[in-house]
């Protein structure tokens, strides 16, 4: 008798009736943070159209992070750090997240600065000069990964196969990734970036979250945060200015330097080389092969060894077996009877 094919439940996250506010404090929480979560459709990275959108998202994140780094370097903001990212819930849903780590001495000021940066991008968008720099850096990073391909870790290979199996992500060589990216990147415009950023802040199925350690007594309430949003909306915000400077960093050919010292660490077989012009280089010879990876796995036994046909029968059999053992135990007790047991949970 063939077992009926199980129908998967509808596990897509339903739309909210209204945007949500979440405030959380716990003694185990170490980070004081404020974040905006937007529910969005998860798009599998299994075709060039979705690959292009993935690149747009990556470039937007890179530009946002560069702006934050610049402001932190100038000490012009009241929060510790900020970033954009994605949190995949399933193969149907993900959350677009923009967040900030706050300074406990300047919580409200940090939130205002964070919301001001978001409002500035929403109002004026990203710049062509920023996009040009991000495109250039992204291609350089891809080409660098091709150079480092022979020393790529086995973990990264295994993780790529895992994403392919679980989320249908395409597997492509570094050469193909560079080829696809070089074809796609010229088609990406500032409008693409701005449309992508708006997915993070569209206030549709949105969660506003603030969390921190228990000892903080002045964590803003929902009403107070709404007032901060209103304050930023009424604020005069100037456009961001960025100029890409074209400079020649090195004007002459680089010459080598003599090795003036060698030190070997016997336990690890690492060799430290000191060059005459200052740098220290650490070398370690390995026997890894460029076309070989290591994957470790194990089988749990039990139900994992049952065929699809026998699995339902095996599960039911275990329920009866567990109940029989439990009833026999209870009946051996003089003052305990089955009728006295209100509820019994049996986990499979």
pLDDT digits (tens, 9 = 90+) for 33-53: 999 999 999 999 899 999 999
CATH class in words for 20-233: alpha beta
Residues contacting 35, CB < 8 A, separation 6+: 97, 98, 99, 100, 208, 209, 210
Measured N-to-C along each axis, helices 128-147 and 48-73 cross at an angle, to the nearest 10 degrees, of: 110
What is the rounded distance in angstroms from the CA atom of residue 128 to the CA atom of residue 131?
A: 5
Q: What is the pLDDT of residue 60?
A: 96
How far from the centroid of its chain's Cα atoms is residue 99's Cα? 12
- Conformational region of residue 279, where left means phi above 0, alpha means psi within -120 to 50, and beta covers everything else: beta
What is the rounded distance in angstroms from the CA atom of residue 2 to the CA atom of residue 157?
A: 37
Q: What is the pLDDT of residue 346?
A: 46
What is the rounded distance in angstroms from the CA atom of residue 230 to the CA atom of residue 284?
A: 57
Rounded alpha-carbon distances, angstroms, from residue 25 to 32, 35, 73, 289, 323? 9, 14, 30, 49, 41
What's the pTM? 0.72
E strand or H helix at 209, and its extent? strand 206-213
Radius of gyration of the chain, Cα coordinates, nearest whole angstrom: 28
Give yes or no for a contact between 142 and 176, defined as CB atoms under 8 angstroms apart. no
CA proximity to 191, closest of 118, 125, 121, 123 = 125
Give yes or no for a contact between 209 and 34, defined as CB atoms under 8 angstroms apart. yes
Task: Tell me the pLDDT tens digit for each residue of 275-309.
Answer: 988 889 999 887 767 667 666 776 666 656 666 66
Q: What is the pLDDT of residue 203?
A: 86
Residues of the chain short of pLDDT 70, as ranges, are 1-4, 288, 290-291, 293-295, 298-348
Q: What is the pLDDT of residue 113?
A: 96
Q: What is the pLDDT of residue 225?
A: 95
């Amino acid at each position: 008798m063939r077992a009926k094919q199980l129908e998967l439940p509808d596990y897509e996250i339903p739309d909210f009736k209204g945007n949500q506010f979440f405030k959380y404090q716990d003694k185990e929480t170490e980070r004081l943070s404020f974040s905006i979560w937007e529910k969005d459709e998860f798009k599998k990275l299994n075709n060039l159209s979705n690959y292009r959108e993935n690149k747009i998202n990556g470039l937007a994140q890179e530009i946002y992070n560069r702006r934050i780094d610049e402001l932190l370097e100038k000490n012009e903001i009241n929060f510790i750090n900020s970033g954009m990212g994605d949190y995949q819930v399933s193969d149907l849903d993900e959350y677009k997240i923009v967040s900030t780590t706050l300074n406990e001495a300047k919580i409200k000021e940090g939130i205002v600065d964070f919301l001001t940066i978001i409002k500035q991008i929403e109002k004026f968008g990203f710049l062509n000069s920023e996009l040009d720099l991000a495109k250039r850096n992204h291609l350089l990073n891809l080409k660098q990964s091709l150079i480092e391909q022979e020393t790529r870790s086995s973990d990264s290979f295994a993780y790529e196969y895992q994403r392919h199996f679980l989320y249908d992500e395409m597997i492509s060589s570094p050469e193909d990734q560079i080829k696809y990216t070089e074809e796609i990147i010229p088609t990406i415009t500032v409008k693409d970036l701005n449309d992508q950023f708006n997915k993070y802040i569209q206030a549709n199925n949105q969660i506003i979250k603030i969390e921190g350690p228990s000892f903080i007594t002045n964590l803003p309430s929902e009403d107070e945060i709404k007032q901060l949003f209103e304050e930023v909306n009424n604020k005069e915000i100037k456009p961001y200015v960025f100029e890409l400077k074209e400079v020649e960093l090195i004007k002459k050919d680089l010459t080598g330097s003599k090795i003036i010292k060698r030190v070997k660490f016997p336990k690890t077989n690492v060799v430290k080389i000191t060059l005459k012009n200052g740098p220290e280089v650490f070398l370690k010879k390995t026997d890894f092969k460029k076309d070989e990876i290591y994957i470790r796995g194990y089988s749990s036994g039990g139900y994992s060894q049952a065929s699809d046909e026998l699995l339902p029968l095996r599960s039911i059999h275990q329920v009866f077996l567990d109940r029989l053992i439990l009833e026999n135990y209870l009946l051996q007790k003089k003052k305990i009877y089955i009728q006295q047991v209100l509820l019994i949970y049996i986990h499979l």
